[in-house]
A and B are shown apart, each in its own frame.
Chain A
């Protein structure tokens, strides 16, 4: 069974520090990976996508993919209270269907 696993948290990080969110996946056929952010009571929104091994940076966010280890991570630099949310990791194949993790709740402490 295809699975994406995340630690549910909560992960508590001081303001200004680096938040590190991790995700592992079981399906070696997954070709693309996504990080969605979901604020409490809101719907998910895409913040990062990554398709190849290595790092991808976008502002304060860096996504990392290691296909050999089946591992995806999201780093948030200079964490702000507004980054407090649940972060959903998802893996995609070519069949329109994403495999979702249950999400990690991140709390940034001022």
Chain B
């Protein structure tokens, strides 16, 4: 019954490494999102995509990039990981424009950068 799958539950990387976080949804949703969640700061939007090959910056895109080559897959890339990118990363998807804010989340990927 898994609907949004994130490839890695826990990752430990070193400063300067390139990091790929993969997200796949099986609900045929148009919209996909990447958030990070830090204690006391709530959810902050990094990037979102409302169509294949389309991407839009969220509130905190600096240091991140994304790729959406297929409708079901949305990847988050940290080109050169830094310690301040240690966080929980949450992928989410939603359907269409009218349902854009009704999100289904993946289980999350906890990234530690040493």
Contact B40 A49 (CB under 8 A): no
CB distance from A104 to the nearest CB of B (A): 11
What residues of B have a CB within 8 angstroms of the CB of A25 in the complex?
Answer: none
What residues of B have a CB within 8 angstroms of the CB of A32 in the complex?
Answer: 101
What residues of A have a CB within 8 angstroms of the CB of B40 in the complex?
Answer: 8, 102
Contact A98 B101 (CB under 8 A): yes
Contact B107 A42 (CB under 8 A): yes
**Interface bin, chain B:** 20 to 34
Contact A96 B31 (CB under 8 A): yes
Within 8 A of A (CB), among B32-47: 40-45
B105 on interface, CB distance cutoff 8 Å = yes
Contact A43 B108 (CB under 8 A): yes
Contact B48 A97 (CB under 8 A): yes
**CB-contact partner of B101 in A8, A34, A102, under 8 A:** A34
Contact A46 B50 (CB under 8 A): no
B103 on interface, CB distance cutoff 8 Å = yes
What residues of B have a CB within 8 angstroms of the CB of A96 in the complex?
Answer: 31, 48, 50, 56, 97, 100-101
What residues of A have a CB within 8 angstroms of the CB of B108 in the complex?
Answer: 42-43
For B110, give the chain A residue with the smallest CB separation. A41
The answer for the CA separation of A43 and B58 in the assembled complex, in Å, is 19
Contact B101 A88 (CB under 8 A): no
What residues of B have a CB within 8 angstroms of the CB of A101 in the complex?
Answer: 42
B102 on interface, CB distance cutoff 8 Å = yes
For B43, give the chain A residue with the smallest CB separation. A100
Contact B105 A90 (CB under 8 A): no
What residues of A have a CB within 8 angstroms of the CB of B101 in the complex?
Answer: 32, 34, 49, 90, 92, 96, 98
Interface residues of B, Cβ cutoff 8 Å to A? 31, 40-45, 48, 50, 56, 58, 90, 97, 100-108
Instruction: Jot down 20 A-B pairs with beta carbons below 8 A, ordered by A.
Output: A34-B101, A42-B108, A43-B90, A44-B90, A46-B102, A46-B103, A46-B104, A49-B102, A88-B42, A88-B43, A90-B43, A90-B101, A92-B101, A96-B50, A96-B101, A97-B58, A100-B43, A100-B44, A102-B40, A102-B41
4 A-B pairs with least C-beta separation = A92-B101, A43-B105, A102-B42, A100-B43
